[in-house]
Chains A and B, each alone.
Chain A
Amino acid sequence: MFLIKIPSRPEFVGVVRLVIAGLATRLNCHQEEIEDLKVAVAEACNNAILEGGALGEVLVECEVEENKLFIEVIDYPGGMHRQGLNRRSKVLCKERKQLECDETWLLLIRALMDEVEYRIERGERRCLTMIKYLGRHGV
């Protein structure tokens, strides 16, 4: 199990990309797979941050099982102790609307990963699970 925890703020998504790229390199992923993973995980983090607000944290859990890389991106809208959206999160939602990127993020994730599941769990914990089959390149 590999766990990354970042504040729910846009400036830290780049940190997640770097860590994911490092992990994928360690797993001997092909360069294209590394780039795909970076985009997919970052898009999931973007969504967690833009929809969830700036109160909480975003967790990225990675696990390798046989030839599969499991990645879960988990967030708590409004933070773990939800008290409504604060001013910062409202600003982020407005920016997102202006940027007109709604749903494109999920389209990208579905295209780049082999399996994707998005669920809202009890307590409003949101969890996006992605699976990438490893070792497909060069076979």
Chain B
Amino acid sequence: MERGLNMDIKLTTRELKPDIHLAEVNGEIDVYTSPKVKEAIVGLIEKGHYNLIISLEGVRYIDSTGLGVLIGALKKVREHNGGISLICTNPQIKKIFNITGLVKIFGIFKNEEEAIKNLAG
């Protein structure tokens, strides 16, 4: 039985369209796991993927360090005229975006179709 500390985060990526990539995050984005999320998202950007959809549908918890990762990623893709759309329907996660005002900075959508439409538009 493994007794190491459990890093409760998983991130998978796939191409939705030639110029749009999806990153699906599952787990809790907190002070411990956010460096891992940052590494994965920055990895995508460094490969030249500047239009990203980040799905937070599998995220049970996010804190200010997680928000910081998303803001940092948004700044990076905007330097290349790219953008980030978020998929999120969890009311508690959306509440965090509302409190911090980030709901006005990120596009937050219910599903992939809406998120793609926003990036394409």
Residues of A whose CB lies within 8 Å of any CB of B are: 10-11, 13-14, 17, 32, 35, 38-39, 42-43, 45-46, 49-50, 95-96, 98-101, 104-105, 107-108, 111-112
Pair A42/B99 contact, Cβ less than 8 Å:
no
Pair A43/B61 contact, Cβ less than 8 Å:
no
**How would residues 81 to 121 of chain B score, 1 for a CB under 8 Å from any chain A CB and 0 otherwise?**
00000000000100010011000000000000000000000
* A115 to B86 CA separation, bound complex (whole angstroms): 32
Contacts A98-B72, A99-B72 given; does A112 touch B99 at CB 8 Å: yes
Set B32, B65, B100: member contacting A99, Cβ < 8 A: B65
Pair B72/A14 contact, Cβ less than 8 Å:
no
Pair A13/B72 contact, Cβ less than 8 Å:
no
User: What's the interface size class on B, roughly?
Assistant: 20 to 34
Contacts across chains A and B counted by CB atoms under 8 Å = 66
**How would residues 61 to 72 of chain B score, 1 for a CB under 8 Å from any chain A CB and 0 otherwise?**
101110111011
Contacts A35-B92, A98-B72, A101-B68 given; does A108 touch B31 at CB 8 Å: no
Majority-rule SS of A interface residues: helix
User: Can you give 16 contacting A-B residue pairs, CB < 8 Å?
Assistant: A11-B32, A14-B28, A14-B30, A35-B92, A39-B61, A46-B31, A46-B63, A99-B34, A99-B65, A100-B72, A104-B100, A105-B64, A107-B100, A108-B63, A111-B99, A112-B99
